């Protein structure tokens, strides 16, 4: 069962970013499925690393887009991206230490982070980008 589900209501109106968000949803669902199935720590560990890597790549591309179009909220967005990345890194560190409560904490964090960040922060820049011809 999927932990997070993409819907058109989550679209920021920029296809490249929406596609990346969809990939993040898939990464989180793959990780959640592995945890729910009790799969080996190595599989979960590699999925966590994949999620972190993709998150960094996505944030970088999103930030470059904002910088190229001089989005006025870029500095605040950067702060949020750094904080979110740090939280994911902390979860990975906890996982590597064998924290058994990680699966529930991580699932709650990831689903909340994704929905809240997209709906609360990312959707704000969508109209700004659309006004500048970015779709």
Instruction: Supply the CATH number for residue 99's domain.
Output: 1.20.120.50
Residue 77 resides in a domain = yes
Residue 105 resides in a domain = yes
Flag the least confident range among 9-18, 21-30, 39-48, 89-98.
39-48
For residue 6, which phi and psi values (nearest 5 degrees)?
Answer: -75, 145
Cα distances from 117 to residues 13, 42, 67, 120, 124, in angstroms, run 15, 28, 19, 5, 10
The tens digit of pLDDT for each residue in 101-120 reads 666 777 788 889 889 999 99
pLDDT at 96 > cutoff 90: no
Strands (E), the chain: none
The tens digit of pLDDT for each residue in 37-59 reads 888 777 888 888 898 999 999 99
Residue 134 resides in a domain = no
For the chain, how many structural domains are there in total?
1
Cα distance between residue 106 and residue 96, in whole Å: 13
Range of the domain at 46: 13-128
Cα distance between residue 51 and residue 101, in whole Å: 19
Extract long-range pairs of 4-9: CB within 8 Å, 24+ residues apart.
Answer: 4/28, 4/29, 4/110, 4/111, 4/114, 4/115
Cα distance between residue 105 and residue 126, in whole Å: 30
pLDDT score of 34: 86
Residue 82 resides in a domain = yes
Residue 135 resides in a domain = no
Residue 7 resides in a domain = no
Residue 61 resides in a domain = yes
Cα distance between residue 11 and residue 22, in whole Å: 10
As a whole number, the mean pLDDT across the chain is 90
Cα distance between residue 129 and residue 14, in whole Å: 8
pLDDT score of 101: 60
More confident residue, 97 or 80: 80
Question: What does pTM read for this prediction?
Answer: 0.91
Residue 118 resides in a domain = yes
Cα distance between residue 71 and residue 25, in whole Å: 25
């Amino acid at each position: 069962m999927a932990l997070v589900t993409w819907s058109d209501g989550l679209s920021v109106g920029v296809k490249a970013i929406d596609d990346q968000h969809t990939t993040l949803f898939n990464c989180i669902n793959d990780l959640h499925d592995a945890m729910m199935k009790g799969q080996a720590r190595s599989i979960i560990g590699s999925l966590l690393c994949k999620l972190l890597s993709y998150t960094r790549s996505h944030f970088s591309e999103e930030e470059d887009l904002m910088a190229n179009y001089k989005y006025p909220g870029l500095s605040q967005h950067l702060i949020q991206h750094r904080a979110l990345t740090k939280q994911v890194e902390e979860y990975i560190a906890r996982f590597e230490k064998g924290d058994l409560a990680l699966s529930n904490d991580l699932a709650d964090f990831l689903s909340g982070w994704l929905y809240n960040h997209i709906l609360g922060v990312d959707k704000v820049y969508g109209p700004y980008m659309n006004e500048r011809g970015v779709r």
